[in-house]
Structure 1
Amino acid sequence: MNFASWPPLLVVDVEGNGTAPPDLVEVAALPVREGRPDTSTAAAWLTRPNRPVTAFATKVHGLSNTDLADKPAWVEIADQVHGFLATSWICAHNAHTDYRVLKAHLPTWEPAGVLDTLRLAKTTVPNLSGYSLDALICHMKPDLSKAPAQRHRATFDAYATAQLLIAMAAHYDTWDQLVAAAVPPGLPGAPEPEKDPTLW
Structure 2
Amino acid sequence: MREVIFDTETTGLDPKTGDRMVEIGCVEMIGRVETGRTFHAYFNPERDMPVEAEKVHGLSSAFLATKPRFADTADELLAFLGDAPLVAHNAGFDFGFLNNELSLCGRAPIDLGRMVDTVAIARKKHPGAKLSLDALCTRYGIDRSHRVKHGALLDAELLAQVYVELTGGRQIGLELTADADSAHAASDAPWYRPVANRPRREPRPHAASPEERARWEAFLAAEIKEAVWTR
Letter aligned with residue 119 of structure 2: L
Alpha-carbon distance change, 160 to 89 in structure 1, aligned in 2, over 3 angstroms: same
Counterpart in the other structure of 1:118: 119
Aligned pairs for 1:105-184 (under 5 A) are 105-107=101-103, 108-111=108-111, 113-128=114-129, 130-144=130-144, 150-170=148-168
- The alignment status of 1:52 with 2:54, answered yes or no, reads no
- The alignment status of 1:31 with 2:28, answered yes or no, reads yes
Q: Which moved more, 1:131-140 or 1:86-95?
A: 131-140
Identity of aligned residues (%): 29
Counterpart in the other structure of 2:12: 18
- Measure, in 2, the Cα distance between the counterparts of 1:16 and 1:10: 19
Once the two structures are TM-superposed, the CA of residue 36 in structure 1 deviates from its matched residue by: 2.4
Aligned pairs for 1:92-103 (under 5 A) are 92-103=88-99
Query: How many residues were matched structurally?
Result: 164
Other structure's SS at 1:123 match: helix
CA contact (8 A) 2:58 2:149 kept: no
- The alignment status of 1:82 with 2:78, answered yes or no, reads yes
Once the two structures are TM-superposed, the CA of residue 173 in structure 1 deviates from its matched residue by: 7.1
Once the two structures are TM-superposed, the CA of residue 19 in structure 1 deviates from its matched residue by: 6.4
- 1:47-102 deviations in Å (ceiling 9; x for gaps): 11121111111100011111112111122112221222121110000011111111
Other structure's SS at 2:44 match: coil
Letter aligned with residue 9 of structure 1: E
After TM superposition, the score normalised by the length of structure 1 is: 0.73
Structure 1's consecutive aligned runs of 4 or more residues displaced over 2 angstroms after TM superposition are 33-38, 109-112, 171-174
- Measure, in 2, the Cα distance between the counterparts of 1:8 and 1:36: 9
Other structure's SS at 1:52 match: coil
Once the two structures are TM-superposed, the CA of residue 144 in structure 1 deviates from its matched residue by: 4.6
Once the two structures are TM-superposed, the CA of residue 18 in structure 1 deviates from its matched residue by: 2.3
- Measure, in 2, the Cα distance between the counterparts of 1:27 and 1:173: 27
Which is higher, the Rg of structure 1 or of structure 2?
A: 2
- 1:17-51 deviations in Å (ceiling 9; x for gaps): 1264221110111111233223x310100011121
CA contact (8 A) 1:86 1:109 kept: no
Structure 2 alignment gaps of length 5 or more: 174-231
CA contact (8 A) 2:4 2:85 kept: yes
Other structure's SS at 1:152 match: coil
Point out which structure has higher relative CO (alpha carbons under 8 A, 6+ apart). 1
Structure 1 alignment gaps of length 5 or more: 1-6, 175-200
RMSD between aligned residues? 2.3
Aligned pairs for 1:64-83 (under 5 A) are 64-83=60-79
Letter aligned with residue 133 of structure 2: L
- Measure, in 2, the Cα distance between the counterparts of 1:96 and 1:53: 22
Letter aligned with residue 100 of structure 1: G
Counterpart in the other structure of 1:179: none
